[in-house]
Amino acid sequence: MGAQWKAKHKDVAANAKGRLFGKLAKEIMVAARSGADPASNARLRLVVEQARKVSMPKDTLDRAIKKGAGLTGESVHFEHVIYEGFAPHQVPVMVECLTDNVNRTAPQMRVLFRKGQLGTSGSVAWDFDHLGMIEAAPATAGADAEVAAIEAGAQDLEPGEEEGTTLFLTAPTDLDLVSKALPDQGFNVLSAKLGYKPKNPVDPASLSAEQLEEVEAFLAAIDANDDVQNVYAGLAG
């Protein structure tokens, strides 16, 4: 599982669009601190492209950029915090948060992890690789993902979440470079971000249907928290 965990049930996923816009707006505001022009701000450019791909309203997008860049006179400060631990049945989990109040987020995470186990810093991170993750689809007939990965400088590749797409994995520092190079290799970039890939994922087949349902419910509850940006679970597939 190279990309982050996502709700699999259609009814849950359908209700997630508003939360997705909220999460993207936070990322845009944080990225815009380094400048409001995507052309000269690589981090902002990547998240703006992602927001456009999911049809974020232009007014919402522009407002987030201006707010983050300090052009509205409002003070914005989000702290990046990572919580580590285990879901039920010892499935490792990394939870990325952007919060304006750690004193609110920390106790919420403790409550959410009661059905699992909240760990200390580094207790789970060693079992994940921190990588750039680029999901892309072929733009031209005959585009070869393996050749594209080599030519663009990606470290590895695997099937993407959507049918026909490829997830290109890069060193964190190469994310923007590879994102820019892939179109020349016949691929359209759908999303590009930093994330965590489990080194030793748990095989879902080793869990009963009831146990897997408990893990999914745990992950869904964490993902629904307003301060949570991404949830990375050590589950294969």
CATH number at residue 148: 3.30.70.980
Angle between helices 17-31 and 58-68 (to 10 degrees): 30
pLDDT at 43: 84
Same domain, 31 and 114: no
User: Taking a C-beta distance cutoff of 8 angstroms, is the pair 195, 133 a contact?
Assistant: yes
195 C-beta neighbours (distance < 10 Å), count: 21
Q: Quick one: 33 and 132 in the same domain?
A: no
Q: H or E element: which one contains 118?
A: strand 117-118
Q: Does residue 37 lie in a domain region?
A: yes
Same domain, 61 and 120: no
Residue 208 resides in a domain: yes
pTM above 0.85, yes or no: no
Q: Are residues 204 and 101 in the same domain?
A: yes
Residues 14 and 117 in one domain: no
Chain-centroid distance, C-alpha 29: 16
Does residue 55 lie within any of the structural domains? yes
* Residue 1 resides in a domain: no
Same domain? For 180 and 64 the reply is no
**Do 25 and 62 form a contact (C-beta atoms < 8 A)?**
no
Range of the structural domain that residue 29 is part of: 10-68
Q: Give the pLDDT of the chain (237 residues) as one tens digit per residue.
A: 445 666 665 445 545 677 888 889 999 999 998 889 988 888 898 889 889 888 899 999 999 999 999 888 887 788 999 999 999 999 999 999 999 999 999 999 999 999 999 999 999 999 999 999 999 999 988 899 999 999 999 999 999 888 889 999 999 999 989 999 999 999 998 888 899 999 999 999 999 999 999 999 999 999 999 999 999 999 987
Q: What is the pLDDT of residue 116?
A: 95
Query: How confident is the model at residue 1, as a pLDDT?
Result: 46
- Does 214 share its domain with 113? yes
Residue 16 is part of a domain; what is its CATH number? 1.10.10.200
What's the pLDDT score for residue 15? Answer: 57
Q: Quote the pLDDT of residue 127.
A: 95
Please check whether residue 121 lies inside any domain of the structure: yes
Write out the two tokens for 136: 């892309």
Spell out a b/e string for 92-113, using b for 16 or more CB atoms within 10 Å of the CB, else e: bbbbbbbbeeeeebeebbeebb
